[in-house]
Amino acid sequence: MSETIVRLDQASIFQKDNLILQDVNVEMRQGEFVYLIGKTGSGKSSFMKTLYADIPLQEGTGQVAGFDLEKLPESDIPFLRRKLGVVFQDFKLLPDRNIDQNLRFVLKATGWKDKEKMDARIKEVLEKVAMDTKDFKFPHELSGGEQQRVAIARALLNDPELIIADEPTGNLDPQTSVEVMKVLQEIHQSGRSILMATHDYALILKFPAKTLKCDEGKVFEVVQKSV
C-alpha cells in the first residue's frame, strides 16, 4: 500500500487572524496527482502555503513528507522544503542570472558543493523539461512556457517527494499550458506526488485526476463531472 505524503486532520488555516479554511481533513497518497480548484480568494494558495510551512498550522494536525506541521520548529522548515518542489504562476526565476546560475543558486543554498555533481544534476533536470540547450539564456530571453519549464526543473533539483504547483499554467496560453502539463504528467508518471492548483477546467478534463475544491471555508473532494 502506498504511503501518505500529505495529511491534514481537523485543520484550520488562517491568514493573520482571518479564518480561511476550517475543519480540513485531507489525505494524499504518495504518487497521487491531485488538483486543487476553487474561485479566487477561496483559499487555494493558503492551503498550499500551509503545506510548505509558509503559514503555520495553528489548529488541528498536519503531516507533509514525514514532518508534523503543527509543531514544526523554524529550524526544520528548510528540511521540509528540501522534500518539496514548489512551482508558482509567475515562475519566480532570478532575473539577473542565466538559467544555469538560477539552478546552481538553489543547489548551493541547499548544501551542494561538488561542481561536477552540480553540473550533472543541472543537466539532468533541464533534460527532463527539454531545456538543456538553453541553460545560458536569461529568464527574459525565454517564453513564458520555457520559463515555467525551467521553474519545474528547479523544483526537481533536490528530488522532491511532492511537487506543489500553484496555478503553474495561470500565465500561459492554452497550447503552452498543455505542454507544461505534459511535463508535469511525465514527472508524475516517474513516481512523484503532485498537488496542483488551477482555474483551468479544460486542463482538468484533458488530464483527469482526483480533484479537491476550496469553497466557503471548506475543502472537499469533487467528482470530475460536477467540476
Ligand X SMILES: Nc1ncnc2c1ncn2[C@@H]1O[C@H](COP(=O)(O)OP(=O)(O)OP(=O)(O)O)[C@@H](O)[C@H]1O
Among 44, 104, 188, 213, binds ligand X (CB under 6 A): 44
The nearer residue to ligand X, 41 or 208, going by C-beta atoms, is 41
String marking each residue 177-216 x if it binds ligand X according to CB under 6 A: -------------------------------------x--
For position 42 contacting ligand X by CB under 6 A, the verdict is: yes
CB atoms within 10 A of CB 5: 24
The span of 14-22, 25-33, 75-83, 144-152 binding ligand X (CB under 6 A) equals 14-22
223, 192 in Cβ contact below 8 A? no
Among 11, 32, 46, 149, binds ligand X (CB under 6 A): 46
**Which three cell numbers mark 6?**
500529505
Question: E strands along the chain, which residues?
Answer: 4-15, 18-29, 33-37, 59-64, 67-68, 84-88, 162-166, 193-197, 210-215, 218-222
The nearer residue to ligand X, 45 or 193, going by C-beta atoms, is 45
For position 20 contacting ligand X by CB under 6 A, the verdict is: yes
Name the DSSP class of 42: S
CA distance 227 to 222: 7
Binding site residues, ligand X, CB under 6 A: 15-16, 18, 20, 38, 40-46, 214
